[in-house]
Amino acid sequence: MTVTLADVAARAQVSPATVSRVLNGNYPVAAPTRERVLRAVDELDYVLNGPASALAAATSDLVGILVNDIADPFFGIMASAIQAEIGGTGGRAGGERLAVVCNTGGSPEQELKYLTLLQRQRAAAVVLTGGAVLDAPHAAAVAAKLRKLGEGGTRVVLCGRPPVPDARAVALTFDNLGGARAVTEHLAGLGHRRLGYLAGPEERSTTRHRLEGHRAALASAGIEEDPRRIVHGQFDRRSGYQGALELLRRDRSLTALVAANDSVAAGACAALRESGLRIPEDVSVTGFDDLPVATDVAPGLTTLRLPLTEAAARAGRIAMGREEAPAGGIGGVRGELVVRGSTGVARG
Amino acid sequence: MTVTLADVAARAQVSPATVSRVLNGNYPVAAPTRERVLRAVDELDYVLNGPASALAAATSDLVGILVNDIADPFFGIMASAIQAEIGGTGGRAGGERLAVVCNTGGSPEQELKYLTLLQRQRAAAVVLTGGAVLDAPHAAAVAAKLRKLGEGGTRVVLCGRPPVPDARAVALTFDNLGGARAVTEHLAGLGHRRLGYLAGPEERSTTRHRLEGHRAALASAGIEEDPRRIVHGQFDRRSGYQGALELLRRDRSLTALVAANDSVAAGACAALRESGLRIPEDVSVTGFDDLPVATDVAPGLTTLRLPLTEAAARAGRIAMGREEAPAGGIGGVRGELVVRGSTGVARG
DNA sequence: TTGAAAGCGGTACCAA
DNA sequence: TTGGTACCGCTTTCAA
């Protein structure tokens, strides 16, 4: 019923081996023969059987892209850039790879589950994006899984994620600490002394590194740390909204709000507006990542721009084996501060 | 080197067949035997070979989710909801399916490419989300491909997409026409007579249906259509921004702007703000879909809320065979108008 | 340049 | 309840 390679071979009057060679294009085949085969493929409307092919070749066309939250444009942008590199060219039969985006929801269990599923599929490569959960047992489990994937021939690339020891995975890390420090130093330089910080989930690497940078900047500006000026939440608008309200409730005199990322910043802006505060005149708000959405929400929003698209594209190329990865991975992709009408202290 | 099912069988002192039964859990196996097998699996750290399994069983664990733009929250929300239904339970070995999100970028070629790739992988199901390209040849090609997928045993579900004739695909359609009409009728009811319309890409089904609804409402309100009050663009913020500027350039006296979706509306709001116009006092803006992002951008934004999450979840369940498909394979999903401080005409 | 044939690792039918 | 064993459809030596 379904057309197989043997059917094509019969129709083209060649052996199955020859058809396979034509389809994979990795072996010399006489032009006329190739023609006949391709015509037969066309006439029979033949589609290669992926599983069979993967089984025989011990590798598949699948490339997994793990994201923490598919509804977050941050990951959407990265996934899109990676996919563009992957789906484009190269690969076996048909010259195409299937880039599959897996949504872990930031849950370590889901992450492990997807990694196992990809391992089961003998994925050609796996790209993990965004912050990692720092919980030790889970980190160890993920590290072990990545190691196994690597041993099984799957290329592993980390993008915007800290390196994993012992797993031969290429790591493209973002300089979250440096970026966050630059943001807060900028605000301190404008004269802000009372800064609120809207942090991400406690156990996430991005949360921790950005917070460290913030603290470092506070310290060097001689501003004393106050735990009441930090609230933790998710990396989403809702958390930014609620967090900003909470920070203002604790201290209405804050002159600046630093958000862990742009979605959080967007929510914070909404909260400030509803509280009758102007941005950035009354309260200066800064984000992180520089997503377009944030620009719309608050034209006066200052953010640290991470080269998401570039980094993701690079990760994609490395995953495809089209770009060399330096030994030990690539450290600290730097961000750039984008100042949009940020103002100094106007109140009290 | 890699552990196979035979290794597990040897270690557990049973036949490969028994191991397979234990792993798939679809066949009675004595409890003690099962125990031994599971222990062996654990000790050897065995992971099932997906391709081999798919080849033998003639079906895979893969479920494809096609989206037009992964960076658009509209699709992110839907993909996330579908994935939640799919990744959860059921399925073969391990009880898990791999939900893979494929980003077509709205291109018919990419769409076909991914469908072929999924066909090649013998995907268990495919869910196509969002508007379809109406170009006849492409539509026919997609229809043919879907038909073939269906024949090959892949369940096909359309979510927010018009039905495809002859392809035994379940269609969960959104009532775009009715929704758009409701939006414009609402504005007309407030006294607006000079309305601009920011449409999506010309050849997209969603664009056309929403535009039809808009026109129907104009007609029944006795407002004459003016082609200069319609601009086409993409379904993104940038198009909304540029489109709004263009509409205002053509006619500064517009009192209302209807956007094809919320991202477009967000961009339009940004453009209006920069043009010194207040929303909704000077110009009433309405969106479509009711994405959270739009609410942030313009607290006064009226939108038509589509039950994206619910519809997507339902599509996911249907794809998994856990929910009955609507009679005739087509279910119309209605939206609901959410009015947020929309005002009538205040100018001229 | 092409063909023959031995796997790749499971699954599921048929027996026992 | 368990085992034996033909396949599933393609890839890839090895020979010709």
Per residue in B183-195, pLDDT (tens digit) is 999 999 999 999 9
On whether residue B342 sits in a domain, the answer given is: no
Q: Is it true that the peptide bond before A307 is cis, omega within 30 degrees of 0?
A: no
Residues A167 and A313 in one domain: yes
Domain count, chain B: 3
Higher per-residue pLDDT: B59 or A298: B59
| Residue B73 shares a structural domain with residue B151 | yes
Could A73 and B77 be called an inter-chain contact, meaning their C-beta atoms sit closer than 8 Å? no
Are B108 and B170 found together in one domain?
A: yes
B192 and B299 inside one domain: yes
A64 burial type by CB count under 10 A (0-12 exposed, 13-18 middle, 19+ buried): buried
Report whether A160 contacts A131 (CB < 8 A).
Answer: yes
CB A152, CB A185: distance < 8 Å: no
pTM of this prediction?
Answer: 0.91
Can you tell me the distance from the alpha carbon of A172 to that of A325, in angstroms, rounded to the nearest whole number?
Answer: 9
Whether residue B342 has pLDDT greater than 80: no
> Residue B274: which CATH number?
3.40.50.2300
DSSP B334: P
Residue B277 domain-assigned (yes or no): yes
Q: Which residues contact A333 (CB under 8 A, 6 or more apart)?
A: A160, A172, A173, A174, A175, A306, A307, A311
> Contacts of residue B72 in chain A, CB cutoff 8 Å?
76
Q: Is residue A100 located within the same domain as residue A163? A: yes
Residue B341: inside a domain: no
Q: How far apart are CA A192 and CA A346, in angstroms?
A: 9
pLDDT of residue A292: 75
- B256 in the same domain as B159: no
Q: Which nucleotide is nearest to B55 (CA to C1')?
A: D8
> What pLDDT is attached to residue B285?
93
Q: Are residues A218 and A97 in the same domain?
A: no
State which residue has its Cα closest to the C1' atom of D7: B56
- pLDDT at residue B95, as a whole number: 53
Indicate the average pLDDT of chain B.
91
Q: How many helices (H) and strands (E) does chain B have?
A: 13, 12
The list of chain A residues with pLDDT below 50 reads 89-94
Instruction: Choose the closest CB to A117 out of B98, B119, B296.
Output: B98
Task: Spell out the residues 6+ positions from residue A50 whose beta carbon is closer than 8 angstroms to its own.
Answer: A60, A61, B51, B54, B60, B117, B120, B121, B122
In the DSSP assignment, the letter for residue B133 is B
Annotate A52-78 with DSSP letters as a single string. HHHHHHT--SEEEEEES-TTSHHHHHH
> Mind listing the pLDDT tens digit for each residue in A74-84?
999 999 999 98
Euclidean distance between the first and the last CA atom of chain A, given in angstroms as a whole number: 80
Q: Would you list the DSSP string of A142-189?
A: HHHHHHHHHHTT-EEEEESS---TTS--EEEEE-HHHHHHHHHHHHHH
Question: Quick check: is A193 in a domain?
Answer: yes
Q: What is the pLDDT of residue B218?
A: 98
Residue A348: inside a domain: no
Determine the residue of chain B that is closest to A70 in CA distance. Answer: B76
Cβ-nearest to B52 among A49, A55, A61: A55
At residue A92, the pLDDT reads: 41
- Same-domain check for residues B139 and B236: no
Domain that holds residue B14: 5-47
Question: In terms of domains, do B327 and B265 share one?
Answer: no
Beta carbons within 8 Å of A177's beta carbon, 6+ residues apart: A209, A210, A212, A213, A216
Distance from CA of A173 to the nearest CA of B (A): 22
Strand partners, A66: A102, A128
Amino acid in position A59: T
More confident residue, B95 or B278: B278
Specify the pLDDT at position B297.
Answer: 60
Largest CA distance in chain B: 88
Cβ atoms of B179 and B243 closer than 8 Å: no
d(CA A302, CA A285): 7
Closest nucleotide over all strands to B37 (CA to C1'): D2
Predicted local confidence at residue B300, as pLDDT: 77
Residue B34 placed within a domain: yes
Q: Which nucleotide is nearest to A54 (CA to C1')?
A: D10
Residue B298: what pLDDT?
Answer: 66
Q: Both tokens of residue A189?
A: 């330089």
B323-332 per-position pLDDT tens digit: 999 988 899 9
Residues B144 and B68 in one domain: yes
Q: What is the pLDDT of residues B230-265, one digit of tens each?
A: 999 999 888 999 999 999 999 999 999 999 999 999
pLDDT digits 0-9 by tens, B106-146 = 889 889 999 999 999 999 999 999 999 999 999 999 999 99
State the pLDDT at residue B296: 65
Confidence at residue B174, expressed as pLDDT on a 0 to 100 scale: 96
**First CA to last CA distance, chain B:** 80
Could you read off the pLDDT of B142-170 as tens digits, one per residue?
999 999 999 889 999 999 999 998 888 99
Do the domain assignments include residue A344? no
CATH code of residue B23 = 1.10.260.40
Nucleotide C6: closest residue by CA–C1': A56
| Residue-level pLDDT at A88 | 55
Are B148 and B189 contained in the same domain? Answer: no
Tell me the two tokens of residue B33.
Answer: 């035997």
Within a domain: residue B124? Answer: yes
B24 against B299, higher pLDDT: B24
CB–CB of B159/B128 below 8 Å? yes
Q: Distance between CA A155 and CA A319 in Å, rounded?
A: 6
Q: Cα–chain-centroid distance for residue B165? A: 19
Say yes or no to pLDDT of B13 above 50.
Answer: yes
Say whether both B314 and B170 belong to one domain: yes
